[in-house]
Amino acid sequence: MATKTLDDLFYETLKDIYYAERQILKALPKMARAAQDEKLKTAFQDHKEETEGQIERLKQVFEIIGKRARGKTCDAIEGIISEGEEIMEEFKDTPALDAGLLAAAQAVEHYEISRYGTLRSWAQQLGLKDAVKLLEETLAEESKTDEKLTGLAKTAVNSAARKAA
């Protein structure tokens, strides 16, 4: 068996996040439809557009390393999305639905932040300066989305769920 390198790990992780982003792109419209709070709905819709741009940047990173853009099943994101779907079913039409949706969305964001931070660090190690810039741009967007969701949780969503209890 050939020795695996950081290049190999970078490529495998890139395929993982590419798959994850494509699954997230499919899940966001469902989450937006399920959300009751208008600001949360809008946040999901905005993030869908942002995710489309992130997928395009990932394709550029694949080009930089001379590989075809393709995904590899990501069990982690499958699990996180599945949990979000369970929340939509179990808490449908309840005051706690939005708090659950927001928590599921933040789990997704934290996964993405972890992946993009790692990929950026590895790209730096590998001397992939153009890839570093693309990954940093996406990492900044993911962090900003997480901050926005935290703000919604603190200012509206969580207190609305509690007041209704």
Domain span including residue 74:
6-163
Residue 15 covered by a domain? yes
pLDDT of residue 164: 59
Tell me what the mean pLDDT of segment 57-71 comes to.
97
Taking the model in full, what pTM does it have? Answer: 0.93
- The mean pLDDT of the chain is 94
Give the CATH number of the domain where residue 143 resides.
1.20.1260.10
Residue 147 covered by a domain? yes
Number of separate domains in the chain: 1
Q: What's the rounded Cα separation, in Å, for the pair 57 and 134?
A: 6
Quick check: 17 pLDDT over 90? yes
Task: Name the band, by pLDDT with cuts 50, 70 and 90, for residue 165.
Answer: low
pLDDT of residue 95: 84
Tell me what the mean pLDDT of segment 7-26 comes to.
97
Residue 120 covered by a domain? yes
Residue 1 covered by a domain? no
